[in-house]
Structure 1
Amino acid sequence: MHHPGPPRFATVGESVELAPRRPDPGMAAEWRLLERPAASTATLDGGPVCHLEPDTSGVYRAELTTTDSTHEQIIRAFPAVTETIRFSVTEDDFDGEDIAVADRAVVIGKFNDFTMGTHWAERDGDEWVLEADLPPGTHHAIFSFDGSFESTATDEVTVEGPGRPRIELTSATEDGSLVVSADTHAAPSGSEPAVEFYLDGRDALEESAVSIHGDDLRVPRDALPETARVHAVAVSERHSVADTLVVEHGRENESADTGATVSVSRPADPPAWAGDATIYEIFVRSFAGETVDTTFEAIERRVPYIESLGVDVVWLTPVQASPTRHGYHITDFFDTATDLGTREEFESLVDRLHDAGIRVVFDLVINHTSRDHPAFQLHRTGVPEYADYYERVPAERDVSDVDWAGEDAPGYYFNWTRIPNLNYDSLDVRRWMLDVVDEWRDVVDGFRCDVAWGVPHGFWKEVRERVKADDPEFLLLDETVPRDAAFAENEFDVHYDTDLFDTLRDIGTGEEPASALFEALDATAEHGYPDRAGHMRYVDNHDEDRYIDECGAAPLRAAVGATFTLPGTPMIYAGQERGVEQQRGTMRWHDGDSALTDFHRRLVALRADHAALRAPGVHPVPHTVETGASDGVVAYERTDGDETLVIVLYFGDGTASVSLDSAVGDTDLLSGTPVGSDGTIAVGDVVVVPATRER
C-alpha cells in the first residue's frame, strides 16, 4: 500500500512534501490536485514526490495514482501569521580580525534551514541588512562574508504575537456511539481556539457516518471500520499541532450480548518509560581513555561504570562506517566502523547493556552522507542510476571554495561541504533510508535522529509508523535546533529543549537571573508542544562547548540540578560528571572529579526515588535571599499529589542563605545533611527538601 499517510496541516506559503509510502524505486506514480480553495492558483507538478505550496487558506485535496491503486491526501492550509523584520549587523559585530568586507553578506538561520546562498544581506551605509517575513517568536541570523564561518556576526529579532494553541483528544462510549472530544488550550496571549476534525484517507470510515457538534465528534459503533484514525487541530490566530486517536473495532469479538470491542490508542504519545528515564550520551571515540582505542569491546568492559550511575538509556554517537572521529560523515549505512569493531561486537555491547537494564539509542544519520560515500561519487560523476540521489543547487548559490564539477553544487547546511544532503524527492533515496531504518531498529531501542529538521516531515511520519507498528516502546529523539513543535505531530517522542539549554548557559554566565528558567519552561507551551510531548533537558552535548568551560564549576552543579528536578528527560553527556572541559575530550577516568561524579549519581537516584520530580508542573516558591547573590537563586515546588518537594538552586559562588515562604524539612534529600530550620536554608548548589505543610 502506497498511501501517503495522514492529513497534513500547514500555513500559506509553506511547502508540503507529498510522497507515496513504502516506495518501490522506479514505480509509476503521479499526483494531481482534485480540489483547492476558490482563490487558489496552486498546482502540483505530477511526479512521484511533489511539493504543494498553498497560496490561500483552506482545504486542498490531492490524488496519488499508482499502477495498482488511487489514494487521496488532504492538506489543510491556515493563514500565515508573519511580520516583516529587519536583521542587521555592522563590521564591529564580526568576531574575526582583518575581515574582508563586501557589499553583501550571506545570511543563514532557521528561516532558511541554515542553507547558504539563499538569503543575502545588502550593505546599507555601515550596516548589512536583510528583511524577512517571520512568525511570532525569537529569530536568530548568522552573517558571513565568505561562508567559511571564519568570521561571523549574529543578530536576534523578536516578533511579537501569539504562540500556538494546543489540543488533546479523548474518547468515550455513549448511547452506542464513540464520542471523540477535543480539549483545547489557548496559546499564551492568544484567543480561545475552535476545533477542526479530519478523517484519514487510509480508513473506510465514511464522512456521512460522522457528526460533529462543537468540540465533539460522534460516530455510531456499528459504522466504525476495523481501523479508524481521527485527527484534530485547534485553530485561533494560529493552528495547533494536530492530535490523533486510532480506533480499533474488534468485530471478530462481536456477539449478540456484548457487541464488538472498541479500543482507542494515542499514536503520537511517547512511551511511558521515556518520562522516567535518564539518558547518558557517549561520544564513542573519546570514551575508553587516553592511551587505548575506543572499541565496542572497550565500552562493554566499562558498562559496570555506566550501570553504577543509575542511568536508564545510553545514546551512542554514530557507530557506522565513517572516516571521521565524530562519525557523522557516514560511508556505509549497513555496517559498523572497522576501528570500533564488528557488527557482532556491537550487538554484544547492546546485549550487555540490556543485561544491565539499560536501553540503547542509536544515532540515526539520514539527512546526508559523507562526500566519500560511493553513492555521492557515482552521483557527481554522472552515473545515471544515481542522478537524483542528492540535492543539487545552481553553482551561483554555492559560497564554498570547493571547485565542484559541473554547473551545479550539492545542497548542504551551514558550511558542511563534506556531508551533502540526500534528495528525498527521489524514491530511490526514500527506499534506501527506509532500509537503513529497518536494518537497525530491531537491534536497538531507539533512534536519536541527527539533523532531524533537514528531513521531510512526511518521511518522519512514515518512519514513526514503521518502527512503532512492531514496537510501540521504541524511542524517537529529534535533533531539531532550535526546537520546533511541528516535529511533535506524529513524528518524535522526545525533543531537544534548546530554550532551557540556552537559558541555563545565560544564567551560568550571569547574563540572566536564575528565575529565567521559568520563562524557558513557559516557552514549551508558547511553541505549541502538546502537553504529553517529551523534552530532553541537558547542559552539555557533543556539539556544544562544555558548560564547565563556559560557565565554571559552581554554576554547573546548579544547572545539572535543574535538569534533574524539572519535568522532562534529563541527559548526561559522558565526561560532564567527571569534569571534562573539552567539547569532545577524552573521558577522565584516573583524574576526574569524583565528587562531581557522586553528585550526578545522587541526582539520578533522587529522581528515580521521588515521583514528584518526574511529574508535570512547576510552581515558583517565594523566597528571600539573606546572604549570597540574589539573582543566582531560584526556588520551586514539585508534586505528584502524594509528595511535595521544594527545590532551591544557587548558581553563585559559596553558599547562599535563603528564607522560604513555606515550611519545609530541615534535611536535604540530595545530600542527607541538615540545611537549616524555620524555613531558612543554606544552599551551595542544589537543595531538595520536603514541604511539611500544604501551601
Structure 2
Amino acid sequence: MHHPGPPRFCAVGDAVELAPRRPDPDAAAEWTLRDRPAESAATVGDGPVCHLEPDAPGTYRVELHTEDATHVQTVRAFPAVRASARFSVDATDFESEPTDDADRAVVIGQFNDFTAGTHWAERDGDEWAIETDLPPGIHRATFSFDGSFADTATDEITVDGPGRPRVELAGEAVDDDLVVTADARAAPSGGDPAVEFHLDDRDALDEAAVTVDGDELRVPVDALPESARIHAVPVAERHGVADTLAVERSSVADGDDISISRPADPPAWVADATIYEIFVRSFAGETVDTTFEAIERRVPYIESLGVDVVWLTPVLSSPTRHGYHVTDFFDTADDLGSREAFASLVERLHDAGIRVVFDLVINHTSRDHPAFQSHRAGVPEYADYYERVPAERDISDVDWAGEDAPGYYFNWTRIPNLNYDSLAVRRWMLDVVDEWRDVVDGFRCDVAWGVSHGFWKEVRERVKADDPDFLLLDETVPRDAAFAENEFGVHYDTDLFDALRDVGRGDDPASAVLDALAASVERGYPDRTGHMRYVDNHDEDRYVEACGAAALRAAVGAVFTLPGVPMVYAGQERGVAAQRGTMRWHDGDDALTDFHRRLVALRGDRPALRAPEVEPVSYAVETGEADRVVAYERADGAERLVVVLNFGAEPAAVAVEWPVGETDLLSGERVASEDGLRVEDVVVVPIRDGD
C-alpha cells in the first residue's frame, strides 16, 4: 500500500480521514500519532483507515505503518471560526398543520451532511428550534416530522464573519534557484492573509535546503529531487484552500531542466466549453425507447447545437429510470445497450468533436445490489461494505431486521451509503474509476460531498497521471470550496442557480445575478477554478415552469454571457416543461432552440464572453421594469462588450453609460432607439471607442 497523499489542512474540530492509497484489503496497516500540539489530547483510532479530529491549532504528524514501509503525513489545523446559530420554524411554515403530538422535528442541512436522525428540534409552543455552531456564511436547514420529508419547512440564516482568503502560486527558475511566489488575496470581508508554505511528505526534498521569506520560497535547483510538490495555504481570520505547484527536474546536457505545472487547475479546454446534459431515458422521444444507438442517431442534432461536452446521466445497470440506484458498476444497463454500443456512441461523439462525461455514482449503491444484500445477510466478506448506524437514529418506516440500520442521506433509504473506512470498498471503487476512465473524457461525480476528501484526492491524481485533460465535475449542493483543493476542476454553482430562480420569480432584482458571482470569491474558490453555470438540471423543476418563458431567455443569457462553464439540460432548449420529461422532437420550441444555438455560437466567437472578469455598468431603464434589468461589461483585450438582460415580460429601453453599437450581436437586429437599447430578453453590443 502507498503513501496517503498530500498534507491535509483543516479547522480545529473538523475530522480528517486518513487512508493508504492503492489499498490492499488483505494487507495490514495501522496509524500512530507521532506529533501533536502541546494543548492537544487528540488520538487516532485502530485500523487502516482512521479519523483524526484536531482539538487545538497546530501541526499534527501521523505515521502509517504497512508491511513494507512507514509513511508520514502532515495535518495542519487552523483555528475554527464558528458562532452559535439558531434555526427555527413555526406551524405556519408547514404545508399541513402539525398535530398536537408533534413534539419534535428532525432537522437536516449541510451542517450534518443531510443525515436524518442526528439533530432534532424541540417544540416550544408553535415553534420548533435548534441551535448549532456554524462557520460564517448562509446556511439552510430543513425540518420534517417523519422520514419521508413529504411535508417540510425550511429556515435560512446568515452567520456573520469573514470569508476565506485565496492564494495562487507561481514558480520559475532564477539563476540556480527555484523561486515560488504566493499571491495571497483577502476575502471581501476579511483581513490581509499571510502565507504558509508546506512541502509534500511524499517527496525527498530536504527542508533544510528550503528558505521562506514572506510570500516567497526558494530552493537551489541542485537540491530538488526528480519531482516535488509545493503547497501553500492563505491564512487570515480563517484559512483558505491550498494551492499546489508540481516541479519536475531532469538533467540535460548543459545543466538541469525544470518543468512547473499546476495540478489543481481544470483542463485548459474547459474555459471554452459548453456542456449538454442528457437525461438518457427521456432523450429519444415519446414513442421509442432510448438506447445508446438511439442517442447516436441523434448526434447530428447535438452537433448542431455547437456544444463541446455531453454529460450522460447514469448508463450502468439499475432498476430505476434515472439510473442512480446502481446494481452493477461494471456493465451498462440492458435497456440502453451493450458495452460495445456505448463505446460506439462515445466514438461517434468524439468524431463530432464532442467530449463525453460519465456520471460516476460511488457514494452509494442500490439496495438491490448483491453486495448490499450480502452485507445485510451477514456474509463476512461484505461485513464492512456499508455504513451502519444505531437503529434509534433511523427514522424511516423500513424494517431493517436488526439492531442497526444503513447510513443514508435525506430519505434515500433505497441507496445506502458505502463505507469508505473499508479498504475493500476503496479498492472496489478505484476499480470502478479504472474501468471507465479510459472510455470517457471525464466524470460528473454524484453526491461528491458524501465521499471523503482523501478519496477524491486519490482519484484526481490517479486519472490525471495518464490524462491531464480528464475532467472532474463535482455535485456539491450547496457548493463547498474545500472540493477545489486538488480534487475537482469544475463545480456546480448553486449560488447563481438560486439567484436566477429568485430573480425569475420576482423575489430579487436582476442585479442579484452579479451578487451571486461575488459568492465564489467569498467562499474562497481559487480564481482559476471552473464553475458550471446552469438554469436547469435533472434534479430541479424546470425554470420555465418555475419562472416563465420570458425570464427563461434572460436566465439562459446570463449563463452564456457571465464567466464560467455554461450547461444546457437537454429539453431546456426545446421547451420541455417536466423535470425529467420526454424530449420534444416534433412539437418543440424551434425559436427557443435557435436562441440557444445563437448563444452557444456567440460565446464561441467572442473571447470577451469567455473572459474571467465581469464589471457592472451604469445604466438607466427609460421604459420597462427597472428591477428586472441588469447590465454588465465583458472584456478581453481590445474587445469590450455590454450585455443587458431583461427578465421582465415586456421589452425595456435601457440607456447605458458607454457609447455602444446599434446592432445586437446575438440577434443581428438593430436595437438602438431614442431611449436607449431595446431589450426583450438579451442584448449584446460592442462598446464603441473614441465617441
**TM-score normalised to the size of structure 2?**
0.99
Q: CA deviation at 1:96?
A: 3.2
Cα deviation 1:556-581 (Å, max 9, x = unaligned): 00000000000000000000000000
Q: Which residue of 2 aligns with 1:112?
A: 112
Structure 2 vs 1, CA of residues 409 and 345 (structure 1 numbering), >3 Å: closer, same or farther? same
Which structure 1 residue ranges, 4+ long, deviate > 3 Å from structure 2? 96-101
Pick one of 523, 537, 544 that aligns with 2:540: 544
Pick one of 463, 488, 494 that aligns with 2:490: 494
Pick one of 562, 577, 587 that aligns with 1:581: 577
Structure 2 vs 1, CA of residues 11 and 25 (structure 1 numbering), >3 Å: closer, same or farther? same
Q: Indicate yes or no: 2:358 matched with 1:362.
A: yes
- Structure 1 unaligned spans of 5+: none
Q: CA deviation at 1:677?
A: 4.8
Pick one of 499, 503, 508 that aligns with 1:503: 499
Pick one of 294, 297, 310 that aligns with 2:306: 310
Q: Which residue of 2 aligns with 1:233?
A: 233
Cα deviation 1:59-89 (Å, max 9, x = unaligned): 0000000000110000000111011011011
Q: Indicate yes or no: 2:391 matched with 1:425.
A: no
Structure 2 vs 1, CA of residues 570 and 261 (structure 1 numbering), >3 Å: closer, same or farther? same
Pick one of 324, 340, 357 that aligns with 1:344: 340
Q: Which residue of 1 aligns with 2:51?
A: 51
CA RMSD of aligned residues (A): 1.0
Distance 2:419 2:465 in 1: 26
Q: CA deviation at 1:175?
A: 3.1
Q: Which residue of 1 aligns with 2:650?
A: 654
Pick one of 525, 542, 554 that aligns with 1:529: 525
Q: Secondary structure at the match of 2:61?
A: strand
Distance 1:480 1:113 in 2: 11
Q: Which residue of 2 aligns with 1:159?
A: 159
- The answer on whether the counterparts of 1:99 and 1:151 sit within 8 Å (CA) in structure 2 is no
| Aligned counterparts, 1:651-690, within 5 A | 651-677=647-673, 680-690=676-686
Q: Secondary structure at the match of 2:248?
A: strand
- The answer on whether the counterparts of 1:661 and 1:679 sit within 8 Å (CA) in structure 2 is no
Cα deviation 1:625-674 (Å, max 9, x = unaligned): 01110000000000011200100000001210111111000000000000
Q: Which residue of 2 aligns with 1:207?
A: 207
Structure 2 vs 1, CA of residues 463 and 616 (structure 1 numbering), >3 Å: closer, same or farther? same
- The answer on whether the counterparts of 2:173 and 2:258 sit within 8 Å (CA) in structure 1 is no
Q: Which residue of 2 aligns with 1:396?
A: 392
| Aligned counterparts, 1:465-484, within 5 A | 465-484=461-480
Q: CA deviation at 1:125?
A: 2.2
- The answer on whether the counterparts of 2:91 and 2:97 sit within 8 Å (CA) in structure 1 is no
Q: Which residue of 1 aligns with 2:321?
A: 325
Q: CA deviation at 1:46?
A: 2.9
Distance 2:639 2:406 in 1: 56
Distance 2:100 2:538 in 1: 31
Distance 1:92 1:645 in 2: 47
One-letter identity of the residue aligned with 2:160: E
Cα deviation 1:475-513 (Å, max 9, x = unaligned): 000000000000000000100000000000000000000
Distance 2:507 2:313 in 1: 32
Q: Could you tell which deviates more after superposition, 183-192 or 416-425?
A: 183-192
Q: Which residue of 2 aligns with 1:415?
A: 411
Distance 1:53 1:519 in 2: 35
Distance 2:42 2:25 in 1: 27
Q: CA deviation at 1:679?
A: 7.8
Q: Indicate yes or no: 2:6 matched with 1:10.
A: no
- The answer on whether the counterparts of 1:665 and 1:677 sit within 8 Å (CA) in structure 2 is no
- Structure 2 unaligned spans of 5+: none
Distance 2:654 2:496 in 1: 24
- The answer on whether the counterparts of 1:503 and 1:520 sit within 8 Å (CA) in structure 2 is yes
Pick one of 280, 292, 298 that aligns with 1:296: 292
Q: Indicate yes or no: 2:274 matched with 1:274.
A: no
Distance 1:639 1:69 in 2: 54
Cα deviation 1:314-355 (Å, max 9, x = unaligned): 000000000000000000000000000000000000000000
Distance 1:224 1:496 in 2: 38
Distance 1:664 1:118 in 2: 57
- The answer on whether the counterparts of 2:83 and 2:134 sit within 8 Å (CA) in structure 1 is yes
Distance 1:218 1:176 in 2: 10
Q: Which residue of 1 aligns with 2:40?
A: 40
Distance 1:660 1:529 in 2: 31
One-letter identity of the residue aligned with 1:489: E
- The answer on whether the counterparts of 2:9 and 2:77 sit within 8 Å (CA) in structure 1 is yes
- The answer on whether the counterparts of 1:96 and 1:152 sit within 8 Å (CA) in structure 2 is no
Distance 2:423 2:355 in 1: 32
Q: Which residue of 2 aligns with 1:610?
A: 606
Q: CA deviation at 1:124?
A: 1.7
Pick one of 280, 283, 293 that aligns with 2:279: 283
Structure 2 vs 1, CA of residues 550 and 405 (structure 1 numbering), >3 Å: closer, same or farther? same
Q: Which residue of 1 aligns with 2:430?
A: 434
Q: Indicate yes or no: 2:451 matched with 1:455.
A: yes
One-letter identity of the residue aligned with 1:316: L
- The answer on whether the counterparts of 1:395 and 1:407 sit within 8 Å (CA) in structure 2 is yes
One-letter identity of the residue aligned with 2:412: W
